[in-house]
Chains A and B, each alone.
Chain A
Amino acid sequence: MENGIIEITFHGRGGQTAITASQLLTQLAFSKGFKDTIAIPIIGAERRGAPIQAFTKLSQDKQIKTYDGVVYPDYIFIFDTSLLDIPSVKATIKEGVKLIVNSQKPIDTSNLAKNIKVFLVDATGICIKRKFMHSSGPILNIPMLGAFGKITGYYDLKIMEKVLKKEFGEKKLEKNMSVARDAYESVKEEV
């Protein structure tokens, strides 16, 4: 945390909806009363399956004045465990960081930084079970954010309902909330 600003990095693959997650997180935090937020996508030549990165910064009480990328995140979202094999992704995992990982089973942390906390949520499994899919696979952002709300306490399911209703409408709300709730209730710390 730099100057009271909570910094979050998102690692995903093109199509896994990580960039939308970084933007939705700003909405959730802002609805909960955070004073300022910013979502920063790293844009290049994206395509389905390519590693992509995004950042979100959240501030409880002061204006966020930086536009630069996050170097020392407080939290890191891992949408796809295969990304942990990429050296540039691994390098972003610094000592003491908390990881939110989309995985059914525990991940190997032996060659990652020390003192990290890992939270597991089977977002892919939840999406498949609830048929929460788009053209190229599961829509992972909602369950990942559900898990994040539970871990951090920054927002709860009520706030998620309000934001998701505003963003995606009444019609899709039930399905959106079903995956959010599943993740909120099932996320657990890896021990």
Chain B
Amino acid sequence: MIKPEIKDFIQNKETIIIKGNVATAYAAKSARVQVISAYPITPQTTVVEKLSEFADGGQMPGTQYIKVESEHSVMASIIGASMAGTRTFTATSGQGLFYMYEMVHWAAGTRLPIVTAIISRGTAPPWNIWADFSDLISCRDTGWMSSFCATHQEIYDEILMSYKVCEDYDVLLPKFVAYGGFILSHTSKPVIIEDQDKVDAFLPPLPDEKGWPHIWISEKRPIMHGNLIMPSGFYSEFRMKIHVAMLEAKKKIKTVTKEFEKVFGRNYGNGLIQEYKMEGAKVAMLIYGDLALQMEEAVDQVREEGYKVGMVKLRHFRPFPVEDIRDIAKKVKILGVVDRAIAFGSQTGGPISCEVKTALHDTQGTAKVIPMMNGIGGRQVTLEQQKNQLKTLIKFHETGELPKDMIFGTYWDGLLEVD
């Protein structure tokens, strides 16, 4: 492994209009990632295009860009680079993530602070390239942390915050930062790119030649890694410690989010969730990803009509903010949960609504949860639709009446007619 020399590359704070994918590339650049390995896949492609442009154009002087033949090799090479003690980055989508899946487990099992952007898309068949978080959700039990972004700015900010959380010696876990394909990846919006020296001061220093505290390889120091462990060995203990580290990481996520706000002035709630107009609300919606931003507008407009509704944006899927959701559910009477991903055959069909129900199971006097599904496979969700979703909750609160066409207890919005 060649340790690239880090030259000074200062860029002043600037607001530029860019696609979500370009914001991702800028975040990797601002974080001074040392190794990028990537394989293009729609809708992630423009991330790697922009990164290779940066690397080739001398704008990322400390970065080695590795071209590989598949996503499986992407993660394998990133794992190697991270084990050698470097800050690493990659991005993928849908089928690419599935091809990477085996190595995804290896990254978490090795406790490597790898950050990966997931530009979420529907799972084939039928072939689908549009926003749907089922790809990310399929990595639920891999040991990776994961979060959702609602805006272009949040993509940039969340990637920076993620490095700070992942590289904390009490955490040392990889993390997915996910956002909806095309909806965020290919639309253009103003994004603030921060001063390089400010980002440098915010992030932990790049790992030195001794790498991470628990693992370090180099050509002079070969080690064997990941060999067979008998059931009597420490396997269960390794797994338990990943679980505990991820739950402990909640604290770190909260402090990093607070610190980020202090340094850069942008608020992301407590990091795990972000409340919006919850004052006096008896009816609220829990929602994640790009749909959360549009739901804010829906909440504003429904409030103007005189209904006290609120919204909670779920920022992290893993670790799951159980305590925060319990607190919310104690304050409101009705809690709608909107999913843009499917958990086939589960209680509600929506992965997040299932988690929410589980989180509330032991707690008395919490809100009634109404699971909702929409936007699967990138189907457009309009502002009007989201206002109606809020009104469905209000109607249930006032009259106890739910839509007649619920499917096994879940409200599917915007479906076409099928036999």
Nearest-neighbour CB distance to chain B for A37, whole angstroms, equals 7
Q: Are B186 and A43 in contact (CB under 8 A)?
A: yes
Assess A68 versus B189: contact at CB under 8 Å? Given A27-B17, A43-B182.
Answer: no
Q: Are B187 and A40 in contact (CB under 8 A)?
A: yes
**B290 in contact (CB, < 8 A):** yes
Nearest-neighbour CB distance to chain B for A149, whole angstroms, equals 17
Q: Which residue of A lies closest to B152 (CB)?
A: A38
Most B C-beta atoms less than 10 A away, residue of A40, A41, A67, A68? A67
Q: Which residues of B contact A80 (CB under 8 A)?
A: none
Instruction: Give the docked Cα–Cα distance between A26 and B382 (Å).
Output: 21
The one of A36, A41, A65, A69 that contacts B186, using a Cβ cutoff of 8 Å: A41
Assess A67 versus B188: contact at CB under 8 Å? Given A26-B17, A27-B17, A30-B17.
Answer: no
Total number of B residues with any Cβ neighbor in A under 8 Å: 19
Instruction: Give the docked Cα–Cα distance between A23 and B18 (Å).
Output: 9
Compute the total of residue contacts between A and B using a CB distance below 8 Å.
50
- In B288-312, which residues have CB < 8 Å from any A CB? 290, 293-294, 296-297
What 0/1 pattern do residues 142 to 160 of A give for CB contact below 8 A with B?
0000000000000000000
Q: How large is the interface on A (under 10, 10 to 19, 20 to 34, 35 or more residues)?
A: 10 to 19
What 0/1 pattern do residues 177 to 189 of B give for CB contact below 8 A with A?
0000011101111
- In B271-297, which residues have CB < 8 Å from any A CB? 290, 293-294, 296-297
What 0/1 pattern do residues 186 to 212 of B give for CB contact below 8 A with A?
111110000000000000000000000
- Give the interface of B toward A (CB within 8 A): 17, 43, 182-184, 186-190, 290, 293-294, 296-297, 380-383
Instruction: Give the docked Cα–Cα distance between A179 and B182 (Å).
Output: 31
Q: Are B297 and A65 in contact (CB under 8 A)?
A: yes
Q: Are A39 and B297 in contact (CB under 8 A)?
A: no
Q: Are A38 and B293 in contact (CB under 8 A)?
A: no
**A135 in contact (CB, < 8 A):** no
Q: Are B381 and A68 in contact (CB under 8 A)?
A: yes
Q: Are A39 and B187 in contact (CB under 8 A)?
A: yes
Q: Which residue of B lies closest to A23 (CB)?
A: B188
Q: Which residues of A contact B380 (CB under 8 A)?
A: 68-69
Assess A67 versus B290: contact at CB under 8 Å? Given A38-B189, A41-B186.
Answer: yes
**A66 in contact (CB, < 8 A):** yes
Instruction: Give the docked Cα–Cα distance between A38 and B189 (Å).
Output: 5
Instruction: Give the docked Cα–Cα distance between A37 and B140 (Å).
Output: 35
Nearest-neighbour CB distance to chain B for A146, whole angstroms, equals 19
Nearest-neighbour CB distance to chain A for B418, whole angstroms, equals 22
Q: Which residue of B lies closest to A68 (CB)?
A: B382
The one of B187, B189, B382 that contacts A36, using a Cβ cutoff of 8 Å: B189
Nearest-neighbour CB distance to chain B for A23, whole angstroms, equals 5
Q: Are A65 and B296 in contact (CB under 8 A)?
A: yes
Instruction: Give the docked Cα–Cα distance between A71 and B380 (Å).
Output: 12
Q: Which residues of A contact B382 (CB under 8 A)?
A: 68-69, 71
Q: Which residues of A contact B383 (CB under 8 A)?
A: 66, 68
Instruction: Give the docked Cα–Cα distance between A108 and B296 (Å).
Output: 42
